[in-house]
Amino acid sequence: MNDKNKRRQAVSVKAEGRRARGMGSYLARDFKRNKLKYLMVIPILILLFLFCYRPMYGILIAFKRYRPVLGVWDSPWVGFQYFEQFFRDPYCWRLFRNTLSISGLSLLFEFPAPILLALLLNEVRSRKYKKVVQTVSYMPHFISTVVVCGMITTFCASDGLFNNIIETFGGTRSNLLLNKDLFYPIYVISDIWKGIGWDSIIYLAALSGIDQEQYEAARIDGANRLQQIFHITLPGILPTVSMLLILRIGSLLSVGYEKIILLYQPTTYEVADVISSYVYRRGLMGGEFSYGTAVGLFNSIVSIILLLTANKVSKKMGQSGLF
Amino acid sequence: MKAIARKKKKRSVQDWILDSFIYVVLTVILLVCLYPIWYVIVCSFSNSSDVIQHTGLYLWPDSFNLEAYGKVFENTMVQRGFRNTLLILACSLPLNLILTLFCGYFMACKNMVFKKPIVFIMLFTMYFGGGMIPGYINMMELNLLDSMWSLVLPSAISIYNSIICKTAIEAIPESLSESAYIDGANDFQILVKIITPLIKPTLAVLLLYYLVGQWNSWFAASIYLKTESKLPLQNVLRYILMENSTTNLGEEYNEYAATIKYAIIVVSSLPIMCVYPFLQKYFTKGVMIGAVKG
């Protein structure tokens, strides 16, 4: 009650101020009252301007022939030349195929893994055991990409762990990372290993939000545990699953370059080279700045379209969307 | 009566099967998650020759040997990497903490004319960015190439983490800061003396996120830094682990080639492995909030 009055008073004071002394003094009052808050936000805005918005302006070079001496603004315009060059690039098809293969496989195997883990953890009765499994499965998340890739390289080497195991089962030793057919399995399995625990947190949180009375009611009605899982637990986490699925589909074309760059070899470029690693190798390392930016920009525009489409489809199907 | 008893028994048998299935699967997951890490640790304590000659699963060191660790700590490249990373952290973590608090406090405030557009400017950067090459050109134009600040400043503020901070601040009853306001405290005093002590657990988790992010990042350093002596730990690791080589370290290391890599992995990952279990119970909250917003 008191609060409401105060707010009403504040609003009326504001309105009065606006009428009496005009917009200018209204703003002046706002600045005066919130001086310190605006002061706090200034360094943040400066940082965002310097390191987020300036690079966005730099995207212009996708439409220009960028020359470092001239800078972004003075380089000559060339229109869509670099985009056309990309579509005529002999590697274009290969890049799309690899990017979609890797993210498709991730969607198929990496996406459901943490959901399954969360469902299993949810059914465990011993709190201690649950905690142990959680702690251990979070561990790989905190290991750096470089170290994970270092482990993969060492394990896959011809005298590494995996070859020891292969030999025990009667296989022959070889460097697994140089094998084109094994790149996807290695990539996806190591991703699952790194992410399964951490990614399950969000589903566990969604699971803990399910009303326990539903389970009680189901038990009284004679539902067994499997039935409870299928009719209460799964529908309970469906909104979370669909939301994360939209995000996944939105990022179908953005396979991270870090792991690819660390793991691929010239012999596996055929299957491992994705759009972002190509931007890195050709654009940045090869010095073709404009071309690389054009490829990257095309990639992110398609990604945004994919995200918006997935969001719309999900809303049509009666699920909650992102926005 | 009998029917009920039978039903109960049947159900408990079914339960028992389900339970044992769950425990078996979880134990397998547990072992699969753990074994690679365990293998690395075991190898790091072994003789090189044992690691090379051993076939099959390696569960316990054949002979206990600490020399690989000695070699790692002696190595100047690794030492320099550690020093650089610690220096970067010493600059970036306080900055992260202060700016995140500021940003979270600003986002949580009400009754401000320019709040909406400013928050929009912040959120927009979460969805769209310049990309790799414009980012590089930007660094070039700002004259930050080959400087430690090219690693510190761009990651100084994470809007995502600020949203987590904002949610924690919003959970504090407003009357607390209001009464302080009436008593004549200004925004800085309220933030430092009232809000910060109340959201310590959240801040600890955010600090962990920033720490892990900075500790594990290597890509920015690999493109922005040119001088080898400035490279942080992860980039040194990359030289040693990926570009195969212990030969990069010097000849006297050949003898330990097989174990030294494992020792380096343990040494570089251990600091974070020791921190995260203490903050584990707070993870859920942050992830939830992040998902709703992002």
pLDDT tens sequence across B89-127: 999 999 999 999 999 999 998 888 889 999 999 999 988
pLDDT-derived band at B246 (thresholds 50, 70, 90) equals: low
Among all chains, which residue has been given the structure tokens 């900075």? Answer: B214
Q: Is the pLDDT of residue A1 over 50?
A: no
Q: Can you give the pLDDT at residue A24?
A: 81
H helix intervals, chain B: 2-44, 48-53, 67-74, 76-108, 115-127, 132-141, 149-152, 159-170, 174-182, 187-189, 196-198, 200-216, 219-224, 233-241, 257-279, 283-293
Q: Is B82 on the interface with A (CB under 8 A)?
A: no
- Whether B125 contacts chain A with CB within 8 A: yes
Mark yes or no for CB contact B102/A147 under 8 Å: no
Choose the weakest-confidence range: A14-28, A167-181, B182-196, B257-271: A14-28
Task: Name the residue with tokens 């987590």.
Answer: B164
Which tokens is B158 given?
């994470």
Query: How many inter-chain contacts (A to B, CB under 8 Å) are there?
Result: 258
Residues of B within 8 A of A48 (CB-CB) are 121-122, 125, 157
Q: Say yes or no for a CB contact (<8 Å) between A139 and B273.
A: yes
Q: Which of A188-192, B6-10, B185-189 has the lowest mean pLDDT?
A: B6-10
CB burial string A38-57: b at 16+ within 10 A, e below: bebbebbbebbebbbbbbbe
Mean pLDDT of A66-80: 88
Task: Pull the structure tokens for residue A47.
Answer: 């940082």
Q: Which residues of B touch A296 (CB under 8 A)?
A: 131-133
Structure tokens that stand for A97 in this block = 């195929």
Mean pLDDT value of segment A176-187: 90
The per-residue pLDDT for range B185-225, each reduced to its tens digit, is: 899 999 999 999 999 888 998 999 999 999 999 999 999 99
Predicted-complex ipTM score? 0.87
pLDDT value at position B240? 85
Contact flag A51-B244 (C-beta cutoff 8 Å): no
Q: Which of residues 99-118 of B touch A (CB under 8 A)?
A: 99, 102-103, 105-106, 109, 111-114, 118
Q: How many angstroms separate the CA of residue A170 from the nearest CA in chain B?
A: 11
**Quick one: pLDDT band at residue B294, thresholds 50, 70, 90?**
very low
Flag if B118 and A71 touch (Cβ within 8 Å). no
A224 touches chain B (CB under 8 A): yes
State the Cα angle at B158 between B234 and B119, rounded to 5°. Answer: 165
Domain ranges of chain A: 2-70, 81-316
CB A94 within 8 A of CB A88: no
Residues B264-287, mean pLDDT to the nearest whole number? 83
B157 touches chain A (CB under 8 A): yes
- The angle formed by the CA atoms of residues A156, A159 and A160, to the nearest 5 degrees, is 40
Query: Which of the two residues, A123 and B289, has the higher pLDDT score?
Result: A123
Report chain B residues whose CB lies below 8 A from the CB of A73: none
Q: Which residues pair with A64 in a beta bridge?
A: A77
CA A165 to the chain's CA centroid: 33
Shortest CA distance from B282: residue in chain A: A201
Asked if the Cβ–Cβ distance from B14 to A132 is below 8 Å, we say no
Query: What are the start-end ranges of the H helices in A209-288?
Result: 212-220, 225-228, 234-250, 257-263, 269-272, 275-278
Residues of A in contact with B123 (CB under 8 A): none
Question: Cβ A52–B129 below 8 Å, yes or no?
Answer: yes
pLDDT given for residue B2 in this prediction = 55
pLDDT of B149-158, one tens digit each? 999 999 999 9
Polymer length in residues for chain B? 294
> Which tens digits make up the pLDDT trace of A15-31?
555 555 677 888 888 88
B75-243 is classed in which CATH architecture?
A: Orthogonal Bundle (1.10)
| Cβ contact, residue pair A151, B36, below 8 Å | yes
Answer whether A298 touches B (CB < 8 Å): no
> Given CA atoms B103, B109, B113, B116 in this order, what sign does their dihedral have?
positive
- Domain spans of chain B, in order of start: 2-53, 75-243
Q: Is A144 in Cβ contact with B215 (below 8 Å)?
A: yes
Minimum Cα–Cα distance from A294: chain B residue:
B133
Cβ contact A55–B130 (<8 Å): yes
Binding-face residues of A in 267-286 toward B, CB within 8 A? 276, 279-280, 283-284
Contact with chain A for residue B227, Cβ under 8 A: no
Cα A120 → chain centroid: 25
> Is the CB of residue A306 less than 8 Å away from at least one CB of chain B?
no
- Find the range with the poorest average confidence among A294-303, B49-58, B197-206: B49-58
C-alpha to C-alpha distance for A49 and A56, rounded to whole angstroms: 10
Kindly list the residues from chain B whose CB atom is less than 8 angstroms away from the CB atom of residue A150.
Answer: 237-238, 240-242, 261, 265
Nearest CA-CA distance, residue A35 and chain B, Å:
9
- Under the banding of pLDDT at 50, 70 and 90, the label for residue A84 is very high
Separation in Å, CA of A110 to nearest CA in chain B: 14
Tokens of A200: 């399950």
User: Cβ A202–B52 below 8 Å, yes or no?
Assistant: no
The residue that leads in pLDDT, A10 or A133, is A133
Q: Please tell me the predicted confidence (pLDDT) of residue B113.
A: 85
> What pLDDT, on the 0 to 100 scale, is given for residue B293?
42
Report the candidate in B141, B124, B222, B130 with the shortest Cα–Cα distance to residue A296: B130
Residues of A in contact with B188 (CB under 8 A): 36
- Distance between CA atoms of residues A105 and A91, nearest Å: 21
Burial B219-229 (b: 16+ CB within 10 A, else e): bbbbbbbeeee
- Taking an 8 Å cut-off on Cβ atoms, the answer to whether B114 and A38 are in contact is yes
Task: Kindly list the residues from chain B whose CB atom is less than 8 angstroms away from the CB atom of residue A243.
Answer: 291
Fold of the A81-316 domain:
MetI-like fold (1.10.3720)
CB B218 within 8 A of CB B232: yes
Contact A71 B141 (CB under 8 A): yes
CB contact (8 A) between residue B58 and residue A168: no
List CB contacts of A277: < 8 A, sequence separation 6 or more: A257, A260, A261, A264
